Amino acid sequence: MPQTDLYLIQGNAFSDIVNFCCRLTEKAYLLGHRVHILTEESYQNEAINEALWSFKEQSFIPHAVIDEGNNEVSGDGDHGASNSYRVTIGALGSHFIAPHTQRNKTLEKDKGLLVCLGTQLPKQHDKHNRVSIIVPNNTEAIESARTTYRQLKTAKVHVTIHDLRL
């Protein structure tokens, strides 16, 4: 079972979620981890894609966006096959998550980090070593996070809550 972290962020706008997601992704990327960012809707993929290009003036995180229609990956540069990307982005409805763990046998040991922009966990969440759920500061999201927390605890998953609202 993966380690799960619930990040209760201070803001409740989508831009607050995107900003925190970029910071979390950058930290994991710089530590050499693979990251899959799971959005709730495919239109959010483009916001994350753009933010990873520009959230910090002095940095850039190479990444690819999963195309739901044909399950191929489109990248932001000439990096070759999809499994060369350490950071991928895809919506909850995608048929697969983190293509780099499926196509490259040498990468199976590094299942990486799954960053969820919503509190609904996909069935494949256990294919990652670590799961991070970003919870905006609004009543609906917090209630949904509580439900997810109870489900994870029932499944005997270790959950750490990071309350950043203070």
Report domain extents, the chain: 3-163
Please tell me the distance from the alpha carbon of residue 10 to that of residue 29, in angstroms, as a whole number. Answer: 23
Most confident of 81-85, 101-105, 126-130: 126-130
73 pLDDT above the threshold of 60: no
151 pLDDT above the threshold of 50: yes
Q: How is residue 51 annotated by DSSP?
A: H
In the chain, pLDDT over 70 holds for what percent of residues?
A: 78
Q: Name the class of domain 3-163.
A: alpha beta
The two three-digit tokens of residue 19, written as one number: 């900003």
Please tell me the distance from the alpha carbon of residue 27 to that of residue 107, in angstroms, as a whole number. Answer: 19
| pLDDT score at 131 | 93
105 pLDDT above the threshold of 50: no
Model pLDDT for residues 3-43, shown as the tens digit of each residue:
999 999 999 999 999 999 999 999 999 999 999 999 988 88
pTM for the model stands at 0.83
